[in-house]
Amino acid sequence: MDIEVLVSTMNLQNQEKLINKMNIKKNLIINQVKEKKLENIENGENRLYSYEEKGLSKSRNKAIEHSNSEICVIADDDLRYEDNYEKIIEEGYNKYPDADVIAFHVQNVNKKMEKKKRKEGKQNLFTSMKIQSVQMTFRKKSILKKNIRFDEKIGAGTWLYSGEENVFLADCIKKGLKIYYIPKKIATIMSNDSSWLKNGRGKQYFQAKGATFYRISKILYPLLVLQYAFRKYKRYKKETNLNSAIKYMIEGKKIYKIKEV
């Protein structure tokens, strides 16, 4: 099975160093830069393309465009993969031959940020919201056939800086693709903090949530906003009150709709 790791990074200076640090085999690196200094590199199973742009969703989409493999593995530059990650992924697709997308377990050196292992099996719209982008693998032909891409109005590098993976998976489900979760570890997140939480759970955080919920389902949007506001209240109450959280999520919908025009 042909498996390729699609890495999103910024201002990379040394391709080989990153590959060794991540412990990856066949890979495709998308390097976003302010000024293009590192030339595109195509060296066997190691490829790198640099673009003078920003935005995580743009980077993911460029990677999908350039990938030439059967199975794509979504990755950030702070991951370190298990020695046998390819075997684990291949076994997953052999176990679930109807799978278009399979999410695996990714450990985190910061235990507070780690997603807990869940029951193995097929995922629906709601359970897919618990999946992080770096857990995701997919069959490229399935994604291309259904014309699914990451929404470039959402994700790191934009005002609505999170939720791109949730939208991507929701699009997969709405277009009939099958998503599975397998609680086997393929990698570890080596950074000790969360860049998308560096500014806390304030106005921008909730605006991004609101935009994500609206983009996932215009019909379920009000329910998704309310359930999140009440269910996660203990987590954010020291930073934002309940009414403000709901207000900001509604603002997020409006911001996204403006970007649609």
The CATH number that applies at residue 20 is 3.90.550.10
pLDDT for the residue 201: 86
pLDDT for the residue 211: 96
Residue 215's contacts (CB-CB under 8 Å, 6 or more residues apart) are 151, 154, 163, 167, 170, 256
Q: Are residues 104 and 174 in the same domain?
A: yes
| Angle at 4 (CA atoms; ends 103, 72), nearest 5 degrees | 40
CA distance 147 to 171: 10
Q: Are residues 180 and 205 in the same domain?
A: no
Q: Are residues 8 and 119 in the same domain?
A: yes
* End-of-domain residue from the set 153, 170, 192: 192
Q: Are residues 123 and 237 in the same domain?
A: no
pLDDT for the residue 186: 98
Q: Are residues 244 and 172 in the same domain?
A: no
pLDDT for the residue 70: 97
Give whole-number Cα distances, 158 to 64, 200, 215, in Å.
20, 16, 15
pLDDT for the residue 66: 94
Residues of the chain with pLDDT under 70: 37-38, 192-199, 259-261
Positive or negative, the CA dihedral 10, 159, 202, 225 is: negative
Range of the domain at 219: 199-260
Tell me the pTM.
0.93
Q: Are residues 144 and 238 in the same domain?
A: no
pLDDT for the residue 260: 57
pLDDT for the residue 121: 97
* End-of-domain residue from the set 192, 210, 237: 192
Contact 104, 182 (CB under 8 A): yes
Q: Are residues 136 and 219 in the same domain?
A: no
Q: Are residues 79 and 145 in the same domain?
A: yes
The C-alpha torsion from 150 through 72 and 52 to 160, rounded to 10°, is 30
Instruction: Report which DSSP code applies to 99.
Output: -
Q: Are residues 171 and 52 in the same domain?
A: yes
Q: Find residue 187's DSSP bridge partners.
A: 81, 106
pLDDT for the residue 198: 61
CA distance 117 to 184: 9
Strands 121-122 and 179-189, sheet pairing: antiparallel
* End-of-domain residue from the set 147, 170, 192: 192
Q: Find residue 81's DSSP bridge partners.
A: 187
pLDDT for the residue 197: 60
pLDDT in tens, 56-95: 999 999 999 999 999 999 999 999 999 999 999 999 999 9
Q: Are residues 234 and 115 in the same domain?
A: no
Residue 198, exposed/middle/buried by CB under 10 A (0-12, 13-18, 19+)? Answer: exposed
What total number of domains does the chain contain?
2
pLDDT for the residue 112: 74
Contact 172, 64 (CB under 8 A): no
Q: Are residues 14 and 140 in the same domain?
A: yes
pLDDT for the residue 261: 43
Instruction: Report which DSSP code applies to 205.
Output: H
Q: Are residues 113 and 208 in the same domain?
A: no
Contact 12, 31 (CB under 8 A): yes
CA distance 149 to 168: 7
Strands 136-139 and 101-108, sheet pairing: antiparallel
